[in-house]
Amino acid sequence: MTAEPLPRQVGHPLATEFRLTEVLQALSDPLRLDIVATLAESGVELSCSAFHLPVTKSTSTHHFRVLREAGIVQQRYEGTARMNSLRRQDLDAVFPGLLASVLSSAVRNER
Amino acid sequence: MTAEPLPRQVGHPLATEFRLTEVLQALSDPLRLDIVATLAESGVELSCSAFHLPVTKSTSTHHFRVLREAGIVQQRYEGTARMNSLRRQDLDAVFPGLLASVLSSAVRNER
DNA sequence: TGATTGGTACGATAATAAACGTACAACGAT
DNA sequence: ATCGTTGTACGTTTATTATCGTACCAATCA
């Protein structure tokens, strides 16, 4: 009676549920800001391990979860990897110009 | 030999010292975001007590200090009151568009 | 099947941050 | 001089967050 393993999935907030303070909080961590900037520059999906973050796997999981729960990244499984992409359209729809100004500020400020 | 009391003064960071993550962190608190939005809407200097914050005086002092140290507000004494104003020009120079997008997002998101 | 890869879950710890109360300081007015 | 107003300083408490380690799971590969 071994149950079928459930397909792995994660919950993402709807764009209507985004909260500004939560987004700002998520972006206020240097590591996470770096992740977002890297995603924006690359323009493609990236696995968690592609970032070579200077923290352990479990801490990495934590940061990606904060970004996901704030609505900043979209995650989906591809094999064993979890692919991350920016929710640009959703963010722009709810907070117009915010991501762009944060990203250009991040470049100027060198994080 | 009673020393003259020093004129009260506070330290403000130079615009060149602004750090994006610190600014985002400062703005990520609902109370502080409210303060900034009120300052922006009013367009004038406001004393700390003009905000009628739902916290004690000492907590209020704390939040204004966070905003000041991030470079978001300018403070000066006027009598016993501490007058606060936005450092709009400095912020726009270092992080172009950031404050504007945060403020318009705050309105949409109703904080 | 078993090992490897990439990531999660959970619990613990340490650092940071929000909130408060009390005591106090500077200024203005009485 | 002393009182009310406005805010600061300091120490404490509580809540949140960043980090880690260990154990584990699902997918792929040999």
Q: What's the mean pLDDT in A93-108?
A: 95
* Residues of A (80-109) whose Cβ lies below 8 Å from B: 94-98, 100-102, 104-106, 108-109
Give the per-residue pLDDT at A10.
76
Q: Does residue A16 surpass a pLDDT of 80?
A: yes
B102, B37 Cβ separation under 8 angstroms: no
Can you spell out the DSSP letters for chain B?
-PPPPPPP------GGG--HHHHHHHHTSHHHHHHHHHHHHH-S-EEGGGG--SS-HHHHHHHHHHHHHHTSEEEEEETTEEEEEE-HHHHHHHSTTHHHHHHHHHHHHT-
Bases of strand D lying below 7 A from some protein CB? 4-11, 17-23, 25-28
Q: A17-55 burial, b if ≥16 CB within 10 A, otherwise e?
A: ebbbbbbbbbbbbebbbbbbbebbeeeebbebeebebee
- Cβ of A63 < 7 Å from strand C? no
Give the per-residue pLDDT at A11.
85
Look up the protein residue whose alpha carbon has the minimum distance to the C1' of C26: B80
- Cβ of A49 < 7 Å from strand D? no
Between the CA of A27 and the C1' of D25, what is the distance in angstroms? 30
Helices marked H in chain A: 20-27, 30-42, 57-70, 88-94, 98-109
Quote the tokens at residue A93.
């729809």
Task: State how far the Cα of A57 lies from the Cα of A48, in Å rounded to an integer.
Answer: 9
Binned at pLDDT 50, 70 and 90, residue B3 comes out as very low
CATH topology of domain A16-110: Arc Repressor Mutant, subunit A (1.10.10)
- Cβ of A57 < 7 Å from strand D? yes
**Could you tell me which chain B residue has the CA closest to the CA of A18?**
B109
Give the per-residue pLDDT at B9.
74
Query: CB atoms < 10 A from the CB of B49, how many?
Result: 12
According to DSSP, residue A4 is labeled P
pLDDT in tens, B43-80: 999 999 999 999 999 999 999 999 999 999 999 999 99
Binned at pLDDT 50, 70 and 90, residue A107 comes out as confident
* Residues of B (15-54) whose Cβ lies below 8 Å from A: 18-22, 24-25, 27-30, 33
pLDDT in tens, A48-83: 999 999 999 999 999 999 999 999 999 999 999 999
**Could you tell me which chain A residue has the CA closest to the CA of B19?**
A109
Contact A101 B105 (CB under 8 A): no
Give the per-residue pLDDT at A3.
45
Task: State how far the Cα of A21 lies from the Cα of A28, in Å rounded to an integer.
Answer: 10
Give the per-residue pLDDT at A1.
41
Q: Which residues of B touch A18 (CB under 8 A)?
A: 109
Residue A61, SS3 per DSSP: helix
B38, B46 Cβ separation under 8 angstroms: yes
Identify the helix (H) or strand (E) that includes residue A86.
Answer: strand A81-86
Q: What's the mean pLDDT in B76-100?
A: 97
